[in-house]
Amino acid sequence: MAQNTLDASTLANVKTWLEGAYDDETKAAIRKMQAENPEELNESFYRSLEFGTGGLRGIMGVGTNRMNKYTVGMATQGLANYVKNCFPGEELKAAISHDSRNHSREFAEITANVLAANGFTVYLFDDMRPTPELSYAVRYFHCQTGVMLTASHNPKEYNGYKAYWNDGCQLVPPHDTNVIDEVLKITELKDVKWSGGEDRIITIGSEVDDAFMKEIEKNVLHPECIKANHDIKIVYTPLHGTGIKLIPAMLERLGFTNVNVVKAQAVPDGNFPTTPSPNPEEHAAMKMAVDLAKEIDADIVFASDPDADRVGVAVKKPNGEWMLLNGNQTMSVIIYYLLKEWKEKGKLSGKEFIIKTIVTSELPADIAKKQGVKVFDVLTGFKWIGAKIRELEGKETFIGGGEESYGYMIGDFVRDKDAVGACSMIAEIAAWAKSQGKTFFDVLVDLYKEYGFYKEGLLSVVRKGKSGAEEIQQMMKDYRENPPKDINGSPVVCIKDYKLLESKDMASGKIDKIDLPASNVLQFFTADGNKITVRPSGTEPKIKFYFGVKGELCCKENFDKTNDALDNKIDDIKKSMGLI
């Protein structure tokens, strides 16, 4: 791309940065791109990095469309302006943490400086800490807001900025869009208060760690099982992230004495040198942990992502092979254990509930209904789980919940997905199972034998450019105007349209209202218990299809055969819908 073919917006933004009060190193990097890499220059400057409903996320580097100290500072000023407007006359407080990514500490300190210069008392962690602990710190210090510097499980080139409200939950309406409006008003460096309140920054650390871990300890249901099986062999990897700060210490605190951390991945490193992607949903990220588990004949394996809010789990099957659980399976076992033991201990009063997202398996809902516990479906994203908890706070008791994308939460002392609490509960379940001569895998089998074998699949269909986006819009239009009467030979018995907020019984024609915010999502339920969810991306020309099918499991020996049959059923559904 030649200089004269650069976007007009790129040229204008580059001019502003070269003529403005930006540092010399930044200007030198811009001039180098002008001379050597105009395509990169265009990508870096053609627009401003979007502050979405979850905050910022993007590639690190110089430019308006990159994560850097300037875009972070300007976003923070917009957040500060909005919070000040919402809490007039109050003492303003904010909590800040960060993960192990490159520049995360720098961005956290910039965020702290800008908020402090705006009159906030800022509680800044002394080093990296998990996302759930940041959520907890917002509540612990009674802050109005909080910020976590992280790009979750994205590749090493990325960083991000997640903003939280006073309940420790990520921003929900109307605050999410209102903060975006305020951020968009910050267009120049002089709009930002960069310094001047450093004495209002308070360094925090072990006090919050201890309080947070004490809350997790309260979740324990069978301390006697942990004591009896304290030496079960646990393999854990933090994937070079923040989990190393708390998860081994938390397991030790609970009494586990044989925790084997993958040494090569225990060192925090934003380059994630031992894995192509620090995402515990992917087999490659779990490989070193599973290899260690095979070497020492472990009982359970788990991995947390860089900001320690997601957990990947591997379990050993009777034939000695290790199997990676999907997020639905891990969540279902956690919910199964929690509700079973709450009931056995007489802790259920009729005012308890769990929460899952609409794209998550229906198995946790079936478990809850059988135990007489309410279940709420919310839109995709953990902020909606937090919002539902806030709505029912003081009236009913949240036991646990989660989503299919490897995020789980036990108890309501945090309001975001929590790998520290989840790893602790997974280890307890493994110890409880061993007390009965079983494994974690056996618990999953017991669950499937009682409720049915639920299996899920996901397909992302990507289309390029403007025409691709239009094609995806047309797909959604066609599904609404001409919905399938049957899928893979099974009649569609119910259609849920989250854009119209209507649930239609196809036999009777009866329509019930859905009590959720509107979202461009469709769901088809079939007579044989299948669920197909169609959800287009709001930011790129991509549409996701979530498949949930169900079969019967007679015995442990038939697990692989049933699993393969359900995988084939998902493929048949894809074919019947013309997707493969």
236: Cα within 13 Å, side-chain hemisphere: 35
**Could you write out the DSSP letters of every residue in 301-312?**
EEEE-TTS-BEE
Which candidate, 3, 2, 10, places its Cα nearest to that of 46? 10
Q: Quick check: is 152 catalytic? A: yes
Residue tagged active-site, from 135, 152, 332, 361: 152
CB atoms within 10 A of CB 400: 28
- Report whether 552 contacts 528 (CB < 8 A): no
Which candidate, 218, 436, 216, 215, places its Cα nearest to that of 347? 218
Rounded CA gap, 544 and 537, in Å?
7
Rounded CA gap, 558 and 102, in Å?
47
By three-state DSSP, how is residue 95 classified?
strand
Phi, psi (deg, nearest 5) at residue 286: -90, -5
- Distance linking the first and last C-alpha atoms of the chain: 36
**Could you write out the DSSP letters of every residue in 419-466?**
HHHHHHHHHHHHHHHHHTT--HHHHHHHHHHHH-EEEEEEEEEE--HH
- Report whether 205 contacts 233 (CB < 8 A): no
Phi, psi (deg, nearest 5) at residue 165: -100, -175
Rounded CA gap, 458 and 451, in Å?
22
Cβ-based burial of 27 (10 A; exposed 0-12, middle 13-18, buried ≥19): middle
Phi, psi (deg, nearest 5) at residue 124: -110, 125
Quote the tokens at residue 217.
């300890």
Rounded CA gap, 559 and 211, in Å?
42
- Report whether 115 contacts 76 (CB < 8 A): yes
Quote the tokens at residue 356.
């899952």
- C-alpha 275 chain-centroid distance: 20
- Report whether 440 contacts 300 (CB < 8 A): yes
CA–CA distances in Å: residue 539 to residues 52, 164, 339, 354: 10, 21, 37, 30
Residue type, 368: A
Quote the tokens at residue 553.
């499991």
- C-alpha 23 chain-centroid distance: 35
By three-state DSSP, how is residue 410 classified?
strand
Rounded CA gap, 259 and 251, in Å?
8
Residue type, 2: A
Quote the tokens at residue 456.
């899920």
DSSP 5: G
User: Would you name the residues annotated as active-site residues?
Assistant: 152
